[in-house]
Amino acid sequence: MDAQHITKKERMAIPRQEMPAQNPDVRNKNFREVNLGYTAELAQQEALRCIQCKDAPCIKGCPVNIKIDQFIKLIAEGDFTGAARKIKEDNVLPAICGRVCPQEDQCEKECVVGRKNKPVAIGNLERFAADYERESGSVELPKVQPATGKKIAVIGSGPAGLSCANDLIQLGHAVTVFEALHELGGVLMYGIPEFRLPKSIVQGELEGLKKLGVNFVTNTVAGRTVTIDELLKDEDFDAIFIGVGAGLPWFMGIPGENLLGVYSANEFLTRVNLMKSYRFPDNDTPVFNCKGKNVAVFGGGNTAMDAVRTAKRLGAEHAYIVYRRSEAEMPARKEEIHHAKEEGIEFLLLMNPLEFIGNEQQWLTGAKCLKMELGEPDESGRRKPVPIKGSEFILPIDMAVISIGNGSNPLINQTTPDIAVSKRDTIVVDINTMATSKESVYAGGDIVTGGATVILAMGAGRTAAKAIHEKLTR
């Protein structure tokens, strides 16, 4: 069909183009990417479904307000590189966001086509354009404004820090990003698995920032290697953006949590993703030997899905999700739940662990669990799980992964007491500027909101960059 001569009715008649994917029985044994991406044909066909609404409500659904209607039109017309560049005016990491954003709750939720049919696959199209540009080697760097002479430090190289650094470098400021780990990318590198987000893609998107002149310094822990005050006073930074995320794993505080085989999701995923322990012994870092074992992941978020699908790929015989509410309340993306089920993940719903049980050598052998039923809605609006009396039973497992959320790492709070924090230890900011209570210091992403999404963190980074720029060039 021709993009120029197609009626609205014809557009509406095109079904949503499914993303080709690896066969579930094959992919649950490897770490290669599950979704294979659109072909040019599929992408153009999908792009034709966009009816180019005048007010494009999808744009308001995107936390960084990508010009969705415009880039989709370019794809429909076959100008894939042009589409990628249009996206990059607003989003520095499109190949990543196209893969990991919960579009169903953001841009695609607002899509007008979605009122009657399935919404336009905006995420898939974003991903296609970014991949096309990168693979064709035609990545063009945006123009950088003349140097302002101002120096800005960004703490943390996750999505918030990267988007802040990107906007500031383009505005002509000198930007240094400090990262605690030995690799850049934050949760994109250590948290989200290779099979959902190939690490080569993360590195590819980082290359662009390096070429723009962002100075990246790894192995530097804010609060330990250098403090915020030292950066401001001794190293003459004019402003600081803190984007250190929510990286402190919560445990459940039940007996037996220190048994051998009980992991936080952060540890399990860091070992597998960042340290590549799925390639042990070629890579030196070991991880629990899941082969033929029973593994239970406790939690119902995206991290829990990542962990359980990882355990399956490491050879687990049974890989369970144990969640205290029902599937309807799960915070994980529908697509991830669907993929997990296809791969043979077993869902044990309305179930809560009371205690971990081990053998004489202290290796985990089981979890004593209680069955639950749904009661009245709680303050979050979700129906509250209520224990069923006398329903205790023992789930035999060899490994447990705790994935019930993360809090804030205390290091910055401890060493920079004049940055105000909330009762939950998140940094308090003015939401219009992301300014903290400390002069010249801004913050955004999970350190402000608690665990949220990649794209919300990127939006916060942009807001802060804008405010920092206005302050420094006023």
Residues at the contact surface with another protein, assessed by CB under 8 A: 180-182, 218-221, 224-226, 247-249, 251, 253, 257-258, 260, 263-264, 266-267, 270-271, 275-276, 280-286, 288-289, 361-362, 409-411
Closer to another protein at the Cβ: 337 or 419? 419
For 13, the 3-state DSSP assignment is helix
At its nearest, how many Å lie between another protein and the CB of residue 141? 27
Please give the Cα distance from 413 to 411 (Å, whole number). 6
Closer to another protein at the Cβ: 31 or 288? 288
Please give the Cα distance from 439 to 472 (Å, whole number). 12
Judge contact between 465 and 164, C-beta under 8 A: yes
Judge contact between 190 and 269, C-beta under 8 A: yes
At its nearest, how many Å lie between another protein and the CB of residue 362? 4
Closer to another protein at the Cβ: 342 or 425? 425
How far does CA 405 lie from the centroid of its chain? 13
Closer to another protein at the Cβ: 34 or 427? 427
The residues pairing with 396 across neighbouring beta strands, listed in sequence order, are 366
Give backbone dihedrals phi and psi of 9, rounded to 5 degrees, phi first. -65, -40
At its nearest, how many Å lie between another protein and the CB of residue 394? 21
Closer to another protein at the Cβ: 113 or 262? 262
Judge contact between 50 and 11, C-beta under 8 A: yes
| Cα dihedral 370/374/377/380 (nearest 10) | 50
At its nearest, how many Å lie between another protein and the CB of residue 233? 14
Closer to another protein at the Cβ: 122 or 222? 222
At its nearest, how many Å lie between another protein and the CB of residue 410? 7
Closer to another protein at the Cβ: 92 or 421? 421
Please give the Cα distance from 90 to 347 (Å, whole number). 38
In the block, which residue shows the tokens 């994109």? 188
Please give the Cα distance from 201 to 206 (Å, whole number). 9
Closer to another protein at the Cβ: 93 or 226? 226
Closer to another protein at the Cβ: 164 or 399? 399
At its nearest, how many Å lie between another protein and the CB of residue 260? 5
For 32, the 3-state DSSP assignment is coil
At its nearest, how many Å lie between another protein and the CB of residue 197? 18
Q: What is the DSSP string of 305-346?
A: HHHHHHHHHTT-SEEEEEESS-GGG--S-HHHHHHHHHTTPE
Task: Tokens for 445, please give them.
Answer: 């992403």
Judge contact between 168 and 468, C-beta under 8 A: yes
At its nearest, how many Å lie between another protein and the CB of residue 30? 19
At its nearest, how many Å lie between another protein and the CB of residue 180? 5
For 195, the 3-state DSSP assignment is coil
Distances (CA, A) of 201 to 245, 313, 416: 21, 21, 35
Please give the Cα distance from 42 to 20 (Å, whole number). 10
